[in-house]
Amino acid sequence: MPPRPQLKPRKRPSQARSKATVEAILVAAAQVFQRHGYVGATTDRIAERAGVSVGSLYQYFPNKDAILVALTERHINAGFALVRELLAEALNEAPPLERLLRQFVVAMIALHEQEPELHRVLFEEAPLPPSVRRQLRKRENEFATEVCAFLRAHPEARRHDAKATAYVVVHTVDALVHNFILHPPEGLGSDALTEEIVRMLLGHLTTNEAS
Amino acid sequence: MPPRPQLKPRKRPSQARSKATVEAILVAAAQVFQRHGYVGATTDRIAERAGVSVGSLYQYFPNKDAILVALTERHINAGFALVRELLAEALNEAPPLERLLRQFVVAMIALHEQEPELHRVLFEEAPLPPSVRRQLRKRENEFATEVCAFLRAHPEARRHDAKATAYVVVHTVDALVHNFILHPPEGLGSDALTEEIVRMLLGHLTTNEAS
DNA sequence: GCGCAATATGAGGAATGCCTCATATTTAGA
DNA sequence: TCTAAATATGAGGCATTCCTCATATTGCGC
C-alpha cells in the first residue's frame, strides 16, 4: 500500500481512434464495475470487455483507480446536469412551491433509477479518493446554494436560516431517495415516499418562525 | 474472485485465553480498519497489532471479511443499544414530542461522533456482504416500527401514514447526521443542524392532514 | 508513397496479500 | 504428574492482480 499514485492520464488521446478507445474503456468499466463490483473489476477484465488490450488501457489511465475516478466524475456531472435540466424546466412556469418540490423529488428518483447498481458500487463500495469526495461535496454545496438563493426569492418560502434549510432540504431528498432506490424497503412505494417527502419539506419551508 | 466463502468462525473459542485472543483481534481490527482503510487492513497487520500470529487469527475467522462482518455487527449492536438507551431514558418522563425529537437527534449525533472514521470505513468503503446489509436494514426497520408504534400512541402526533412517516423520520435523521459528521460542511454547526431537523420533523409529525 | 508519431498489443515480471500447515506451547482434568 | 485437547506460531505456498515494455500496426502530413 504505497502512497496513492497519480490519477491523471499519462497520455491525452488526440486522434479519433484513441478517443474511441477511451470511450470504450469507460463504457466497459461502467458495465464491469456494475457486474463485478469494485474488487472484481480487474483492469484485464475491463480491457477485454472494451475490446482493447490492457496496454492500451494503461496508455490513458495510469491505474485502476483513475478509471474509477473518471467514471465517477462523468456520473456526477451527468447527474447534476439532469436534475438541473428538469428543475429549470419546472422553474420556467413560476410554479407553486409544492409543485416544484415534487418535481425535484421525482427528478432525483429518476436519476437514481438509472444504473442503480453502478451508483451503488461507485458511492457505497468503491474507495473513492478523498479528492473526489471533496469535489462531490463541493458540487452538492453549490447546488444547495442555488436552492438557497431560490428559497429567499420564492414568495411562499418563509424560513430564516436559509443556509441550514438548503442543506437539510438537498441532503434529505438525496439521502432518502438514494436509500430508497438502492435498498428498497418492503411495503413502501415510491409514490408514498414522494408524497411524504414533499409534505414534510413543504411544511418546513412554509412555516414562519421567529428564530 | 471465487464465490464468497463462508463467514462463520471455524472454531469457537472455549477457554478464556482464546476468548481474549478473539477480543484482541477485534479491537485491533477496529484500529487497523480505521487507520488504513479496508484495503490497507491486511490480515497480517491486524494480527500483528493484536499481538497474535496470523495463524491464530485464522483459527477463529475463516477469512478477512469474516472479521469485517463481526466488527460491523458489533458496531451496529452497540449503536442501536446506545440510541435505545438514550431514548428509553427520555421516554420515562413522558416528554413533549419536541423534547423527544431533540433527544433522538442528539443521541444520533453522539453515536456518530464516536469513531467516525471506523464508521466511514465500515459503511462507506468496505464491501459489506449483502447478508449484513440486509440485516442492518432489518434492524433499521424494526427500529422504525418502534418509532411507528410510538407515533400512533403519542398525543401530539397526528399523521396518518405512520409507516411512511416512521421510515422518513428515522432515515432522515440517520442520513443527515451521518453525512454531517462524516463530511462536515463549512458554515453549519451541529446545533443549527439539530434545530433545523427538529423543527422540520416536529412540524411534519404534528400537522394533521386528510390524506 | 514515405516516414514518423500515435496508437495498439499481450505475454509476463513484480509485488502483494490471503491463508495453510507442520510444529510448538499451554491448559484442563484425571 | 501426565496426557490429550486446545491454542499459538510464522515461514512460505499459491493465487491473483496490477502494470510494463518490447514490438507491431495504423494513420497523418508531406
Tell whether the model's pLDDT for residue B186 goes beyond 50. Answer: yes
Interface A:B, Cβ pairs < 8 A: 100
For an interface test with B, give the residue of A42, A122, A200 to mutate (most B CBs within 10 A): A200
In degrees, rounded to 5, the angle at the alpha carbon of residue B74 between the alpha carbons of residues B71 and B75 is 85
- The per-residue pLDDT for B14 is 73
Task: Indicate the pTM of the whole model.
Answer: 0.87
Q: How far is A182 from chain B (nearest CA, A)?
A: 11
Contact B38 A124 (CB under 8 A): no
State the maximum Cα–Cα separation within chain A, in Å, rounded to a whole number: 65
Q: Is B50 helix (H, G, I), strand (E, B) or coil?
A: helix
In chain B, what are the domain boundaries? 69-206
- The per-residue pLDDT for B5 is 46
Taking contacts as CB-CB distances below 8 angstroms, the residues of chain A near B172 are 172, 175-176, 200
- The per-residue pLDDT for A210 is 40
Select the residue of A38, A125, A200 nearest B200 (Cβ to Cβ). A200
CB-based contact, B158 to chain A, within 8 Å: no
CB B104 within 8 A of CB B82: no
Q: Which candidate, B110, B111, B109, B88, places its Cα nearest to that of B100? A: B88
CA B211 – CA B204 distance, rounded (Å): 13
Neighbours of B205 (CB within 10 A): 21
Tell whether the model's pLDDT for residue B18 goes beyond 70. Answer: yes
Taking contacts as CB-CB distances below 8 angstroms, the residues of chain A near B171 are 175-176, 179
Which nucleotide C1' is nearest A16 CA?
A: D27
Confidence of residue A5 (pLDDT cuts 50, 70, 90): very low
CB-based contact, B204 to chain A, within 8 Å: yes
Phi, psi dihedral angles at A21 (to 5 degrees): -60, -50
End-to-end CA distance of chain A: 51
pLDDT in tens, B61-80: 999 999 999 999 999 999 99
CA A210 – CA A176 distance, rounded (Å): 29
Tell whether the model's pLDDT for residue B203 goes beyond 90. Answer: yes
One-character DSSP codes across chain A: -PSP---S-SS---SHHHHHHHHHHHHHHHHHHHHHHHHH--HHHHHHHHTS-HHHHHHH-SSHHHHHHHHHHHHHHHHHHHHHHHHHHHHTT---HHHHHHHHHHHHHHHHHSSHHHHHIIIIIS---HHHHHHHHHHHHHHHHHHHHHHHH-SS---S-HHHHHHHHHHHHHHHHHHHHHSPPTT--HHHHHHHHHHHHHHHHH-----
The H or E element containing residue B34 is: helix B16-40
CB-based contact, A38 to chain B, within 8 Å: yes
Residue B121 makes CB contacts below 8 A (sequence gap 6+) with B33, B34, B37, B38
Retrieve residue A123's grid coordinates: 458511492
CA B115 – CA B95 distance, rounded (Å): 30
CB-based contact, B179 to chain A, within 8 Å: yes
CB-based contact, A207 to chain B, within 8 Å: yes
Tell whether the model's pLDDT for residue B173 goes beyond 90. Answer: yes
For an interface test with B, give the residue of A35, A124, A142 to mutate (most B CBs within 10 A): A124
- The per-residue pLDDT for A9 is 57
Tell whether the model's pLDDT for residue B101 goes beyond 60. Answer: yes
One-character DSSP codes across B157-200: ---S-HHHHHHHHHHHHHHHHHHHHHSPPTT--HHHHHHHHHHH
pLDDT in tens, A38-95: 999 999 999 999 999 999 999 999 999 999 999 999 999 999 999 899 888 888 888 8
Taking contacts as CB-CB distances below 8 angstroms, the residues of chain A near B124 are 124
CATH topology (fold) of B69-206: Tetracycline Repressor; domain 2 (1.10.357)
Neighbours of A193 (CB within 10 A): 23
Neighbours of B37 (CB within 10 A): 16
CA B169 – CA B163 distance, rounded (Å): 10
Distance B37 CA to C21 C1' (A): 30
Taking contacts as CB-CB distances below 8 angstroms, the residues of chain B near A63 are none
Say which residue, B155 or B168, is predicted with more confidence.
Answer: B168
CA B163 – CA B159 distance, rounded (Å): 10
Retrieve residue A27's grid coordinates: 463504457
Q: How far is B45 from chain A (nearest CA, A)?
A: 12
